[in-house]
Amino acid sequence: MVVGKVCVVTGATSGIGLVTARELARMGATVVLMARNRARGEAAREAIVARTGNSSVELALADFASLASVRAGAEEVLSRHGRIDVLVNNAGVYVGDRQLSADGYELTFAVNHLAPFLLTNLLLDALMAAPSARVVTVSSHAHFDGRGRFDDVRAERGYSGLRAYAESKLANVLFTYELARRLEGRGVAANCLHPGLVRTGFAGNVKGLSAMLFNLARPFMLTPEQGAQTSIYLAASPEVEGVSGTYFSERRPRKSSPRSYDRELQARLWALSEELTGAEALAAA
């Protein structure tokens, strides 16, 4: 359980991030909401406190489209907490049209992978200061469509929103497996998950045929409460104590895509991410 533990949740103002943060607070954790908008972040914080009666809910600002903002957000968290027990990398975006981040990288890859890669590495000392910490990264079944083509980080050779999203979600899994290997024996577990097809405003930028199919499927989608269950399970359940380097769906270990197990691709993505973010990342064990 997470009573008295410090849990950081990104993308915590709506959808499964908000539910995850709320339920961890209900369990008695000190929860740090990471959000890009102060007004929405404060509203989420107040709503969680009102629903749970737990006043130990904090806000730290970070816009994941800017690596400088991620660094500032991490500094804000670390100024308050020298120990972090749980980091839930939940924030994500789907972009229908090609856009670039503040640092000039394709926005989906920047927000969904580079930002959590940097944040995790910036918080690693605090995570390793905990007796037993967890890093939980929200990926997607869409990662099965990823090809591991990370050599066009500005999407200059053509753009597809669905392809960019799939590549970013594959990056989440590759990152988790490489992180778990580097953290072996250091008291920090790293796992990732598919939350299911969740009925949120996340895919508001989907267009064309994809938008039509998405809208047709909407009545059959999971609620945010249902979609958050695996994130909460990996963050808090004693059943997964010591489990690391695993992909989960419906609170059970699952096989991820064959490509996600490519150790050479994992290492290449890690090196590229170090280069693009300027992170002083964790050395290989």
Q: Show which residues are catalytic.
A: 165
Cα separations in angstroms, 49 against 57, 77, 113: 7, 19, 30
CA angle, 282 then 284 then 285, to 5°: 110
Cα separation, 160 vs 205, in Å, equals 12
CB 8 within 8 A of CB 86: yes
What does the CA dihedral 37, 43, 44, 45 come to, rounded to 10 degrees? 100
CB 234 within 8 A of CB 87: no
Residue 137 CB neighbours (<10 A): 29
Cα separation, 1 vs 88, in Å, equals 15
**Helices 38-52 and 15-26 sit at what angle, rounded to 10 degrees?**
40
CB 158 within 8 A of CB 152: no
